[in-house]
Copies of this chain bind each other. A is one copy, B any other.
Amino acid sequence: MASDPVYEATCTAPVNIAVVKYWGKRDTTLILPTNSSLSVTLSQDHLRSLTSARCITTTSNNSNANAVADRLWLNGHEEEIQQGGRTHRCLAELRQMRKDLESRDSSLPKLTDFALHIASENNFPTAAGLASSASGLSALIATISTLYALLPENGVSVSDLSRVARQGSGSACRSMFGGYVAWDMGTRDDGHDSVAVEVAPASHWPDLHALILVVSDKKKGTPSTAGMQRTVATSDLLKHRIDHVVPARMDRISTAIRNRDFDQFAIETMADSNQFHAVCLDTQPPIFYLNDVSRAVIQLVAELNRASVDAGKGYLAAYTYDAGPNAVLYVRERDVKLVLELVLRYFPQQTFDDPFHLGPEPAAASSFVQGFNAAVIPEHEVGAVARIIHTKVGDGPRVLSSDESLLNGEGMPKSLV
């Protein structure tokens, strides 16, 4: 007796870190932003969400085969898929796209008849302070679109999938591509043109590294979803940013990426991070994400760049901060050891995971950059920066083999907490 066919897929998706920040929704249900944004996709070798999804084709455990009772496990915990919630709406949209496919090609299995079991895990701890929603949602969309064969050859582009991801978690749409990714805000009320597009693949400018400085903060900041709408409601400066600053910056930074012009990339990245935190501060009451350690990192990088630019060597690093105190430093491969050694001097670490085998050691800044003012910030205590994650630009979602599935033979998570 032949066993039932198994319809299952497993994918990973990456984290992305914006260099032109998304802050403000013009439609909170469809998640339509008030400005376009642009990000760098980080390598899944170091940071990724892994998701498996399976169509539950056996009906023995289910009295009503047509009832779609999807189930979801995040990091081994089952989560309720709330009716009308964001995950629910993403799944409904993907099912509709599959239904369209099935109605056009009757030879396809009717996967939309079956419930889905979905398991997802992140390989980075929540304590890392990294937003997992973008990679998590992106992995969900990548996995189910793979399962449902929602592929370019079937008329579904990655940008089409990014539209679905956007409705799950705004910036997740940018994690559907590798490399350098723009989220066009679009103009339509239905959000059809508010999608991610590739500015350049990782292979175009592969030597951009990222150092994530995980900064301890006693206090959890304002959640970004609530914070951004408070800014929309109360900041006089946000409108100017949206109308007069971001459009030109999107053009300039896209050009910088196409030209692999690190100086211009760094200038725009730092200015946009500063302006994002400025509009947070212009919110009533103000929203603070940067703390004294974040400030010190900014001052260190600013002084490093000043000395390097004065010495005719251009910019060495670009900082950017999302809605939290963690710094992300973008650095070219040729400079990454220098910047690491500088960071390790001012923010010493008990241990440093060294994935690129550079063997960095805390070192005197004066040995690298002439004219650097070593007194720009004090040397901090161990723990001020809790952890440094070293990674680089990477590709988009990956399809893995069934060996990597998070689900067992019965379609249940292999590891349940």
Chain A residues proximal to chain B, CB less than 8 Å: 218-219, 236-237, 240-241, 244-245, 267, 270-271, 274-275, 277-279, 281-286, 288, 291-292, 295, 298-299, 302, 306, 377-378
CB distance from A305 to the nearest CB of B (A): 8
- Our pick among B218, B236, B281 for the contact of A240 (Cβ within 8 Å) is B236
Tell whether A275 pairs with B282 under 8 Å between CB atoms, given A240-B240, A291-B292.
yes
- Our pick among B218, B278, B285 for the contact of A298 (Cβ within 8 Å) is B285
List the B residue with the shortest CB-CB distance to A285: B302
Contacting pair B286 A282 (CB below 8 A):
no
Contacting pair A236 B275 (CB below 8 A):
yes
Considering the chains assembled together, what is the distance between the CA atoms of A240 and B240 in angstroms?
Answer: 7
B residues within 8 A CB of A286? 274, 298, 302
B residues within 8 A CB of A302? 285-286
Can you name 29 A-B pairs with beta carbons within 8 Å? A218-B378, A219-B377, A236-B240, A236-B244, A236-B275, A237-B237, A237-B240, A237-B241, A237-B245, A237-B275, A237-B282, A267-B284, A270-B285, A274-B281, A274-B282, A274-B284, A275-B282, A277-B281, A278-B278, A278-B279, A278-B281, A285-B298, A285-B299, A285-B302, A286-B298, A288-B295, A288-B298, A291-B295, A292-B292
B residues within 8 A CB of A288? 295, 298-299
Considering the chains assembled together, what is the distance between the CA atoms of A397 and B302 in angstroms?
Answer: 43
B residues within 8 A CB of A298? 285-286, 288
Contacting pair B244 A270 (CB below 8 A):
no
B residues within 8 A CB of A378? 218
- Our pick among B236, B271, B285, B377 for the contact of A241 (Cβ within 8 Å) is B236
CB distance from A309 to the nearest CB of B (A): 11
- Our pick among B218, B278, B291, B306 for the contact of A237 (Cβ within 8 Å) is B278
CB distance from A376 to the nearest CB of B (A): 9
Contacting pair B270 A274 (CB below 8 A):
no
B residues within 8 A CB of A299? 285, 288
CB distance from A368 to the nearest CB of B (A): 19
12 extra interchain contacts, Cβ-Cβ under 8 A, other than A270-B284, A285-B299, A286-B302? A236-B275, A237-B275, A237-B282, A267-B284, A274-B283, A274-B284, A278-B279, A278-B282, A281-B281, A285-B302, A291-B292, A291-B295
